[in-house]
Structure 1
Amino acid sequence: MAVLITTEVLGEISVLTSVENQSELTAAWIRSGDGLIGFGEYKKIEISGSDRFKQARTWWNSQLSDFKIQNNVHGSGTGPVLFTSFSFDSDEKSVLIIPEIILGRKNGKSWVTWIGQGRQPDFSKVGNAQASGEISWSDGSISEDEWRNQVGFAVKAIKENKLEKVVLARDQVATSTTQINSRSLLQRLEIEYPSTWLFLVDGLVGATPELLVRLSKSLVTSRVLAGTIRKTGNEDRDLALAASLAKSSKDLEEHEYAVRSVADALEPFCSSTNVPESPFVLHLSNVMHLATDVTGVLNDSAKQADVFTLVEQLHPSAAVCGTPTDLANNLITELEQMNRQRYAGPVGWIDANGDGEIAIALRCGLLSQDKKSIRIFAGCGIVAGSDPANEFAESQAKLMPMRTALETI
């Protein structure tokens, strides 16, 4: 039986630190300076199939039964923690990782969890971000013109009442003359996008603004984003654009589909669900989104539900697939001509109590095995009022966080 120890760490510690034994940074979940980071791999498994969420639960529970837990901190995210990165499609691989060492921080309190009976790991402040090599860019699966044609075909299908909404994604490939350092990339993203959820799981790294689900005791929260407009950098102009976004019939229609899909998925599990009547405008450094926070409380019959249960119900939401789900998924398969892998899939962490935070893997990239190249992704929700040129401009804005971070680390 493996011994797992969690204890408080005194003093001010940055979440993005290094450990004395130089274990590789393998997992991360950070927002506004708080979060969890994992070093090394105690256990890792790859799974696939339509039952991948059930497989993940079974594997995690079997691992928990092998731990002798000594936790004097308690609370969400302490003790054993599993980092997860699920594929968008069921036939692609999903990855589950239990790190050897986890450093956590929340509301000024820091703690460390490690596996084994050795002494507590020492942490040091992170130095300057590692300089990157020279970055070159190339098209991903299809050209820019082909992608705009895809959007036009999708709009035509929607106007012919074949479906209501579909999300189409595209990718680009960055190649570096040296290895791309994921910790430096996270540092860069944290500076520019502190209000997003930064994540790293097995080479999938990014800064997503969309929380698929958080479960804390019995409280359920989901942040839904759909409807986007690019910022200009001029404050007065951006305020006017925010007002136009809040009134845009095209964007409000897209947003309504996404919110409805989440609320409908949560309704069987919650005794009360709160869905605001109108979205708010979420301001990021490069774009603005229509956003709605859906909340609920687990009902008595769902008290045994965990994050795996909720993720299985929520994925894929209309925000990353479309409406109706099956028809949208079929059109994605027909049009995209690329493998999303773990892009737009659920990513995050789960603790021993079944609580956790799972986001949608957006504004992200997937590192190659040799870490000298990375595929970055962006997707756009297509509805009847969509225009291919405008959707392409939106996709460019959504690619910008990763492009900028890669070019400045």
Structure 2
Amino acid sequence: MTNGLLRQSRFTTFDGTLSLVTDHQRPDRYSHLESLEYDRPRIARGGGYAYSASSFGADSLVQEMTCFNRFLKFDPETLVLTVEAGVRLIDIMTWAIPRHMHLPVLPGYPLVTVGGCVAADVHGKNPFKDGTFADWVKGLTLYHPQKGYQVCSAMKSPELFGMTCGGFGMTGIITEVTLQLAKLPAPALAVTGASLHSLQEASRTLLSCEADIAYSWHDACPGPGFGKGIMYTGHWAQQEKGAADSLSFTPMTAKSRATLPFSVWNGITARMANKALLLQNDIAGASRATDILKASFPFATNPYFHKLFGKRGLRETQFLVSEANIERCLDGLKQLINATGAPTMMISLKRFRGAQQSLSMTGTGILVALDCFRNARTESFMEALDAQILEFDAQPNLSKDSRLPGSIAKQTLPGLVKFEQTLHRYDKDRLMRSELSDRLGLQ
């Protein structure tokens, strides 16, 4: 095998709903990136934790960047760190936390790569306070087969930089990223879990919350328990045991998530699990010291939620609603779920602030995440939810939805039309392609 071990591989979205076999290269040197035909369609791939197929497509070569995992440069005065795109978040945490530094924006899983974080412009547990990942990127280097290596930042080539942050790999292969780290305020977080009676109570609480971490979890099963939940807030705190001693977890991939041949989750088991979580929170008490890994990545230290969806997988959607529309949106969501007997399991809310103009969400409001197990009603419910997204002028998160139609995306994402126009000027041959870009009609 040549050109960085070309082979055929199967790729699956992390939600388990889309899987296909396509050409695959796992380069471990820059000459491998450069060795392919200059006009061959391709797309970069990191850890593979997106719910959408943004890192593979039927007619594109997948260039998996996980071997590009070196730390390149660090300035101890400014706390600016340059790494290759395949460096994982857990690698940065393991290096930075003992040195009393951290990266404020951490998405849902510690094995996500830095390049993937840039491409999806991910957010953490308090995006209103910390912003999105792009806010902590000082600059980056891209490789495009027809343009070579390009360095860009908010000051140098700002248009290309803006398109790349939240552009899902469509501007080229991210090879290096320069990040702004922050001083670590304390080695742990004091997390409080307060009981909630409704989604509306959570949204009102979030709008006035000034915690370092702030998000809610709710029972989304149709019926009388709908909306009951927990508001998780966290503040940096001291603890005797150093946080660097507790950065361990059992890795989960799209394949290991789908080990079970069937889904354990259904209407009955989902209700039981939600009631058990509410009871567990009441027993645990108001506040507890939590290490940084568990506070940042709750699903990493408790993987059973995802694994119990089995091989069939789950459906998730996430969308941003303005503060003006959030109350009506949550009312409409409750009515829709109860009226249809939807296969919904949990809802989470966060307050959000985003400033990008690419394919990522922008503006301020409340971010709503909704998980469904899959049965005969799932797809019809998701279509009805699309109509509500339009009704309440919400913005979907493309990385969290593996089936969002391009027609809905074009009506809801404020930066998409301009992104498409600029992309076609920048890359007339449209070499960087994925299932997501094809679904959005960016051909």
Q: Relative CO higher for 1 or 2, CA cutoff 8 Å, sep ≥ 6?
A: 1
The structure with more strand, counted as a fraction of residues? 1
Q: TM-score range by the shorter chain?
A: under 0.3
Query: Which TM-score applies when normalising by structure 1?
Result: 0.26
Query: Which TM-score applies when normalising by structure 2?
Result: 0.25
